[in-house]
Amino acid sequence: MVAVVTGDIIASKKIEERAQLNEVLKSAFDIVDHKVLKRTGSFEIYRGDSFQGVIEDPSKALLVAILIRARLRAWNYAGANGTKPLHDLPDARLSVGIGTVSYKADKVVESDGEAFQYSGLLLDSMKQAGIELAIRTPWDDVNDELAVVCKLLDAIINRWSSAMAEAVCLYLQEEATQLELSTKLKISQPAVHKRLASANIDAVQAALNRFQKLIIRNLK
């Protein structure tokens, strides 16, 4: 089994800096490839503002999804003063499908199978429901629990400022101490702690740990 992550940029037509948006999205994929998946070319962009990727280890899929959203929200395209309100920060609607693959093409977006169908159909339904993170697996009891997890994560992520998202993105990819993060972010260690606490990083980490345990247990 694999995980397929399908996404699209929310309200992308309102973002005038299209070239920069594309570069930020690619940088998110680079983070995922090098820091989490240890491979390259996991994601492909299509139709300009949509993308899809295959995660060979399904237990890492939620981390991948959160990192992509964090990287996008960390992009302060309003300028150094951070004048964009939270609901206008760049973000993505992401659906994760976990299942089998029946056809593996050279291009991710041309492949097919249970995981692809779960992810694609889920994304379509999310647009109408106003949901920005959802996961579907072959296991009904897991789906019920993950629906709650995703609802809570959505509420948390939608409250991230650019500064919070930047701190979360670095924290999740680097596995560094807050002191080390303070050097990268060029702020004090207490300021790093405040950003991560405001971003509810403990709850995010708890959700990631629970997701990983659920998936690993059911894949056995």
Q: Average pLDDT, stretch 120-130?
A: 90
Angle in degrees, 0-180, between the axes of helices 178-185 and 162-174, rounded to the nearest 10:
130
Q: Average pLDDT, stretch 10-33?
A: 91
CATH fit for domain 2-219, picks 3.30.70, 3.40.1280, 3.90.550, 1.10.1200: 3.30.70
Q: How far is CA 69 from CA 9, 10, 127, in A?
A: 10, 11, 16
End-to-end CA separation in angstroms for the chain: 11
Contacts of 165 (CB under 8 A, 6+ apart): 69, 70, 71, 72, 73, 74, 89, 199
Model pTM score: 0.93
How far is residue 68's CA from residue 28's CA, in Å, rounded to a whole number? 5
pLDDT digits (tens, 9 = 90+) for 88-100: 789 999 999 999 9
Tokens of 43: 């994601």
Residue 80: per-residue pLDDT: 44
